[in-house]
Structure 1
Amino acid sequence: MRLGGSVRPVHIGVFAAVLALLGGLLFSWPGRAGAAADPVISKGKAATASSTEGSSYAAGKAFDGSTSTRWASEEGKDPQWLRVDLGASNNVSRVKLSWESAYAKAYRLEVSADGTTWTKLASETAGNGGTDDWTGLSGKGRYVRMYGTARGTSYGYSLFEMEVYGTPDGGTTPTPTPTPTPSPSPSTSQPAGAFTVVAAGDIAAQCTASDSSCAHPKTAKLAQQINPKFYITMGDNQYDDARLQDFKNYYDKTWGAFKSKTRPVPGNHETYDPAGSLSGYKSYFGSIAYPQGKSYYSYDEGNWHFLALDSNAFDQSAQIDWLKADLAANSKKCIAAYFHHPLYSSGGHGNDPVSKPVWKILYGAKADVILNGHDHHYERFAPQDPEGKAVADGIVEIVGGMGGAEPYPIEQIQPNSEKRISGDYGVLKMDFTDSGYSWTYVGTDNKVKDTSPKYSCH
């Protein structure tokens, strides 16, 4: 079918209904039987892309025949493209695109003999995601690509599968010229200084894996599977009073499996220990939580300077003076801070002004990202200043309090809040490079619940 002089995609839901209504007679129409019979010729073939979100989302994932893997481009930039090398010249009759939630609103399907000069097969200007099945195409070439010109969301472009159908044309296969592919160029290696961190707050309720509703064994299993460089906890590691015995009975049996790679901070529940404020926390973690003899500390990884702060003591001049001196001595380009109480939150606890003086110091030092817990939900904010004004050079705040404690509902959505999830336990998978960072929020079902934009360091 052609509309406005160009082939249009057949969306699967409508297509299936028409087939059911006509009893399959559609494929008896002239010109359709051949297209329907052509085999998939792209599965397992070499693929490249303008960019990738990370090594887990490489271009080849869209041609592996699995709907559980996907290609994803970097976020927030147009255009982006995905290309497959069919290995020889083919007659292309059909292309099927299975979009993830990050879909293209506008894109072109193109074919090329040499990977340099492209001919349009079809185009879309009002895409709405799902599955686009382009049939009745007529093109010849070795290379086929999806060239996205407008994103349908604020993220990037992501395809579970891109299936190209056709038959060999019997002609000679031209040798690709070494002319560079139009910008942006393919991403084929890990960015400089790349490392991964898993982060979560509000973790170990007083329950064990024998209780199917107990969440922290599940988040611990997920965190261990990711196998990051190290782990960050944003306070309230052990409920309800953070006694040493409770740490041993609950936290230690799950998140304790990777205690040596954990860099924690305390939350308000750590202050409730009847044996003394932070007593159980300090006894359990020891020098891991007090590497510099205090409940707050800093360390470096790659081009990043990390600040692990105790927000229970933000009213004490000793920590504030230490923070100012630490930042003054920092030589790293990128700065991340984490502590328990968020300055901004749409959850039950809401905004906590105790963190505002520290935000002002961090903002003045051009800090990039702050991780918090306290409210038992996931939330990310656009860059903002300490007054809550959206600014390009602002700090990105993430609330990651879904490590295992009972979820809190979203109550009052704050300005600059971009995404909120309550009820799905999970962890933050933070991906850092020498010049920036991004993250995904991964649920205990191993599914990505949210993907951040990619940010550059200030």
Structure 2
Amino acid sequence: MPRALRRAQYRAASGPTCSLLHSLAGGLALLACAGPTFAAADTGAPTAAYTVYAAGDIARCKHPDPRWSGAAATATLVENLLRADPQSAVLTLGDHTYPKGTAAEFRDCYGPTWGRFRDRTWPTPGNHEYATPGARPYFAYFGERAGSAGRSYYSVRLGSWQVISLDSNLKGAAHAAQLDWLRAELARAPSRCTLAFWHHPAFTSGGHRQSGWMRDAFALLHAAGVEILLSGHDHDYERFAPQDATGKLDRARGVRQFVVGTGGAYATPFLRILDNSEVREASFDGVLALRLLDGAYEWRFLPADPGRVPAGARLDHGRGRCH
């Protein structure tokens, strides 16, 4: 059965009538016209705020019909948000298709759902992409936006923010080259506000407990004063307090990590809760909306289907300032 999406009409303060995707109290009050309801922010900055919508672990190709899959529900949410706001983009956090990241999976499962806004997507590869040698279908599908098979990491500027995509699947000399590039990039293009994203989380309370994954890259981010790290891999939503690469709380200079593996594939449970884990959710699909301001940021986790949100649940949201 398709997931029901309740629709209504909302007249924005600026006048136009807009499609409202959800009307969940305290959650998605102004989706299609104004995007997620964030606190008003007067930054005094000349650069317009830029919003990114992020999730990983997206299209499960065993689903009999992609039109009614979890990926379709999250894609509908994101598509409406993008249509309303030209100052917005999508960050995909890896494992775009299951199980093997083949060309057919990208065509038949990802394409009809999240592929609808491929031209506004900045991706990073997951381990399932590499189940096909060299992740070649992934690089072919996203083209220049994915970097290249020879250098699968890159940096872009969105609004006033530097946004860095790394490949957490690299090992040995390839990973060492990525770290060298990251050091140079952080020094070459310093920004007051920086966001990084890759697939495997450095910290997670979920089922994938690989100790130390990308902690060397995390240490470079921390030393450079990077604000945010986004990851997927575990099929849940988790937000950590700012911390250093050893997992020590550092509210003054730490990196705030979000795990957003809720793009539509399937949910996985939490195991042992780590220190500094502040919010966890694994009962519904959704995307993280991040409003990138000049010198600050705001976040809100948006459910794809309000009917899946437990009664009385409080959707995660908050605000932070850049270092």
Give the AA of the match of 1:440: R
Partner of 2:142: 285
Question: 1:255-404 counterparts in 2 under 5 A?
Answer: 255-273=114-132, 276-290=133-147, 294-313=151-170, 315=172, 316-392=175-251, 393-404=253-264
| Corresponding residue SS for 1:226 | helix
Q: How big is the shift at 1:292? A: 10
Alignment root-mean-square deviation, CA:
2.7
Q: How big is the shift at 1:352? A: 4.0
CA contact (8 A) 1:208 1:217 kept: no
1:423-444 residue CA offsets vs partner (Å, 9 max, x unmatched) = 2101111111011112111111
Which has the larger helix fraction? 2
Taking a change above 3 Å as real, the CA distance of residues 384 and 218 of structure 1, as seen in their structure-2 partners, is same
Q: How big is the shift at 1:213? A: 6.3
Partner of 2:305: 445
Question: 1:204-215 counterparts in 2 under 5 A?
Answer: 204-207=59-62, 210=65, 214-215=69-70
Q: How big is the shift at 1:404? A: 1.1
CA contact (8 A) 2:136 2:149 kept: no
| Corresponding residue SS for 2:247 | coil
CA contact (8 A) 2:129 2:138 kept: yes
> Of 225, 246, 256, which residue of structure 1 is paired with 2:80?
225
CA contact (8 A) 1:342 1:352 kept: no
Matches of 2:314 and 2:235, distance apart in 1: 16
Q: Is residue 315 of structure 2 the alignment partner of residue 456 of structure 1?
A: no
Give the AA of the match of 1:198: Y
Q: How big is the shift at 1:225? A: 1.4
Partner of 2:8: none
Give the AA of the match of 2:275: P
| Corresponding residue SS for 2:69 | coil
Q: How big is the shift at 1:353? A: 1.1
Q: Any unmatched runs of 5+ in structure 2?
A: 1-11, 14-22, 29-36
Taking a change above 3 Å as real, the CA distance of residues 329 and 257 of structure 1, as seen in their structure-2 partners, is same
| Corresponding residue SS for 1:278 | helix
CA contact (8 A) 2:207 2:234 kept: yes
When structure 1 is superposed on structure 2, of 203-212 and 240-249 the one drifting more is 203-212
Q: How big is the shift at 1:212? A: 8.0
CA contact (8 A) 1:267 1:374 kept: yes
| Corresponding residue SS for 1:450 | coil
1:262-309 residue CA offsets vs partner (Å, 9 max, x unmatched) = 000000111111xx2211111111112127962100011222111001
| Corresponding residue SS for 1:397 | strand
CA contact (8 A) 1:298 1:305 kept: yes
Give the AA of the match of 1:333: R
Q: How big is the shift at 1:359? A: 0.6
Taking a change above 3 Å as real, the CA distance of residues 369 and 355 of structure 1, as seen in their structure-2 partners, is same
Give the AA of the match of 2:303: G
Taking a change above 3 Å as real, the CA distance of residues 70 and 349 of structure 1, as seen in their structure-2 partners, is closer
1:115-145 residue CA offsets vs partner (Å, 9 max, x unmatched) = xxxxxxxxxxxxxxxxxxxxxxxxxxxxxxx
Matches of 1:406 and 1:68, distance apart in 2: 23
Q: How big is the shift at 1:347? A: 0.5
Matches of 2:179 and 2:55, distance apart in 1: 24
Taking a change above 3 Å as real, the CA distance of residues 333 and 211 of structure 1, as seen in their structure-2 partners, is closer
Matches of 1:278 and 1:245, distance apart in 2: 13
CA contact (8 A) 2:67 2:113 kept: no
> Of 75, 79, 102, which residue of structure 2 is paired with 1:243?
102
Identity over the aligned pairs, expressed in percent?
Answer: 36
1:159-202 residue CA offsets vs partner (Å, 9 max, x unmatched) = xxxxxxxxxxxxxxxxxxxxxxxxxxx95868633121110000
> Of 32, 52, 74, which residue of structure 2 is paired with 1:197?
52
Matches of 2:43 and 2:63, distance apart in 1: 38
Give the AA of the match of 1:410: F
Matches of 1:188 and 1:318, distance apart in 2: 39
TM-score, with normalisation over the residues of structure 2? 0.80
**Structure with more relative contact order (C-alpha pairs < 8 Å, separation 6 or more):** 2
Matches of 2:54 and 2:127, distance apart in 1: 18
Q: Any unmatched runs of 5+ in structure 1?
A: 1-55, 58-66, 73-157, 159-185
Matches of 2:202 and 2:27, distance apart in 1: 35
Larger radius of gyration: 1
TM-score, with normalisation over the residues of structure 1? 0.57
Partner of 1:434: 294
